Amino acid sequence: MSKTTTSCGLFSWRPTWLQSLATKQVYAAVYSILGIVQGMGFSYLSSVLSTIEKQFGIKSKETAWVFSGNEISQICFIFVLPFLGLIKKRALWTSIAMLMTSFGLFLCASPFFVKDKSLYDGGWNSHHSPDICGDDQAGHVEDCSTRVRDFWGMVIIFAGFFITGIGSSFFYSFGIPYMDDNVSKDASPAVLGIVLGTRTLGPGLGYLLGSFCLSIYVSPGREGSLVEGDDGWLGAWWLGFVVVGTLTAVVAPFLALFPERLKSEDETFAKSFEKTQDEIPKTGMDYIEDTKQCAMRLMKNKLYVCNMFSAVTALLAFVGFGTFIPKYFEYHFRQKATKSGLSSLGSSVFTGLGIIISGQVIGKYKFKAKTLAAWSMIVGILAVLTLIVTSFIACPKLEVYGGSGTDLQECQRDCGCSKSEFKPTCSKDGVTLFFSPCHAGCKSFTTEQVDGNDLKVFEDCSCTSQVAAEMNLTVTEMWWREESLKSPLVTGQELSSGAVEGFCPSSNCDDLFYLGIGVFGFMSLIASTSRVGGTLISLRAVEPQDKAASLVILISFLSLFAFFPSPIIFGALIDNTCTIWGSSCGEETNCLLYDTDAMRNTMCWFTATCLFVSFLFDVGVWRFSDGLQLYEEEEEAKEDVDIELKSTGS
């Protein structure tokens, strides 16, 4: 074997001082850092999802199709399966693929840079929806010279995510086998636990990045007096793609410096590596025939197939749920986009802890494959039960006066209200929610300072008086003010004739928000403890020469039947719970208000059903895992038994 096979460097540049870095520890560190950066990209996407829908005027199911580019490219990756044997420098090609990912992320941000920045002056798409009744409505004409729905912007983002999928395919298909091939089987659980566990820091950091970017106006310096939460505020959704793309471009080249295999004092690795190279087919027909035989071996492997379909059905549930969970928090618990994205940080931290701890425990106690499979079954049932409990954590359903929120009542008919933007407005009695102050029939407003922020308080609202009379309600106190400033609004019986911007008060919605975070964090912690065991079973269930191919097939199946359809399914399910659609220039745009009860039940019960099906496949994994050797000492014991049997027989 040539020196370049085990030496660090690139092409003929292989300096002596660099060789000390050709270790599994350094590789694990670089691979983990790159995994963290890659994980940031996907969670960042989830945290800015609702903002991108507003920017491009698209629905959730359309957003899911745009982001499916990543999965489509991974599905196409299966067509290069016959040529995997030709690729010897796996670290180098993974590095090149991740640089392509960096380019794809920059491409995702590019629609912002080509857009006319004057469109963001003073607020995004807010000039179509006046605040109060009769505010220059008679002469108001919608400006349709620039449409909200941006088809070409969506196409560009799709192309960007298609390119990132190429990097993801190489990252998993070559990165994990490279690590597993260069460490002993006894050390593999602990190393995999650290690599997979630290990678989960990526989603957490991605949510933090999303929260930070959304707190910045989409076009910095053009927001005027707007602050987050104001009508027309749009966060800098594009900024995170630039940050993650830059980090990827900085880290990826270091991966290219690693050799074909790492040096080891144990010559078993060298012999195994050489044997694998000798088994590589030599002609085109040999490649095709070898791939065909490999696929047949894998499809006849009951343990591999059950494990694969368990992963497919579980991820069919979790991918879509995870994609839209910031949106779930934002609309269901009435939270700002920055806070709802940040809420997913806890789940990422718990997931990382669960993977790292379980990897160390498995490495220390060397649990058998059947034990690990049984634990996966227990985790599956706990996840199903947790989701059923989650379906009962409910904030009061939002009811907007006027049915759909756009059907005009008598008190609104002369106001000429627009329905292009949802501006929640609550009557002063704290009971009735209106689509906007205009729909409440309000004709004037004043501004108050509450918690350091400006709050609009509307007066002379014809609809609030009408609803209060119908419901026999009176005003009791100024509920929107700070405790120290609260005072009775009236001393006698007086109908409410005013309104306040924002949602109506809910006594326990914030508490339920934090309870929901806690429940999801618990589920993430428990579910993550089965990840290392599942990965070990996947790697050991196949022949060593089939390892890379098995991961390519697994990734392709996951992309085709889980990563690709899951966001689309969840996007369609969420769209079906929409009660108020936005409208601009006669075009239906993004959803403005959802039936939160229907959203919660649909998402939780669909996810629970998928996880139950995954549990059934886990039963199959448990059944077929008898005799599977996960560690070197198990294989050595098996060889000793075989030798003893042969000697006894002779």
Q: Tens digits of per-residue pLDDT, 533-556?
A: 888 888 888 887 787 678 777 877
Q: Tens digits of per-residue pLDDT, 432-453?
A: 888 888 888 888 888 888 777 7
In the chain, where are the structural domains located? 23-128+149-258+281-395+509-640, 410-501
Average pLDDT over residues 225-234: 76
Q: Given pLDDT bands bounded at 50, 70 and 90, which one contains residue 373?
A: very high
Of the listed ranges 63-77, 423-437, 618-632, the least confidently predicted one is 63-77
Burial grade of 402 (CB within 10 A; 0-12, 13-18, 19 or more): middle
Q: At what angle do helices 284-299 and 547-558 cross, to 10 degrees?
A: 70
* CA-only gyration radius of the chain, Å: 29
The token duo for 230 is 């104001």
Q: Is the pLDDT of residue 410 over 50?
A: yes
In Å, the largest CA–CA distance within the chain is 106
Whether the model clears a pTM of 0.75, i.e. scores above it, the answer is no
Average pLDDT over residues 340-353: 72
Share of the chain above pLDDT 90, in %: 15
Q: Given pLDDT bands bounded at 50, 70 and 90, which one contains residue 382?
A: very high
H/E run at residue 101: helix 90-114
Share of the chain above pLDDT 70, in %: 79
d(CA 466, CA 481): 24
Burial of 253-274, coded b for 16+ CB within 10 Å and e otherwise, reads: ebbbbbbbbbbbeeeebeeebe
Q: Given pLDDT bands bounded at 50, 70 and 90, which one contains residue 640?
A: very low
Q: Tens digits of per-residue pLDDT, 154-190?
A: 888 889 988 988 888 788 777 777 777 777 767 777 7
- For residue 394, give every residue at least 6 positions away whose Cβ sits within 8 Å of its Cβ, in sequence order, or none: 512, 596, 597, 600
Q: Tens digits of per-residue pLDDT, 47-94?
A: 887 788 888 877 777 777 777 777 788 777 666 655 555 667 778 888
Q: Topology of domain 23-128+149-258+281-395+509-640, per CATH? A: Growth Hormone; Chain: A; (1.20.1250)
Q: What string of DSSP letters covers 254-280?
A: HHTTS-SS---S-HHHHHHHHHHHHTS
Q: What string of DSSP letters covers 492-536?
A: S------EEESPPP-SSHHHHHHHHHHHHHHHHHHHHTTHHHHHH
Contact 415, 440 (CB under 8 A): no
Q: Is the pLDDT of residue 641 over 60?
A: no
Instruction: Give the model's pLDDT for residue 463.
Output: 87
Q: Tens digits of per-residue pLDDT, 81-130?
A: 555 556 677 788 889 989 999 999 999 999 999 888 888 887 776 544 45
Q: Is 221 left (phi over 0), alpha (psi -120 to 50) or beta?
A: left
Instruction: Give the model's pLDDT for residue 129.
Output: 45
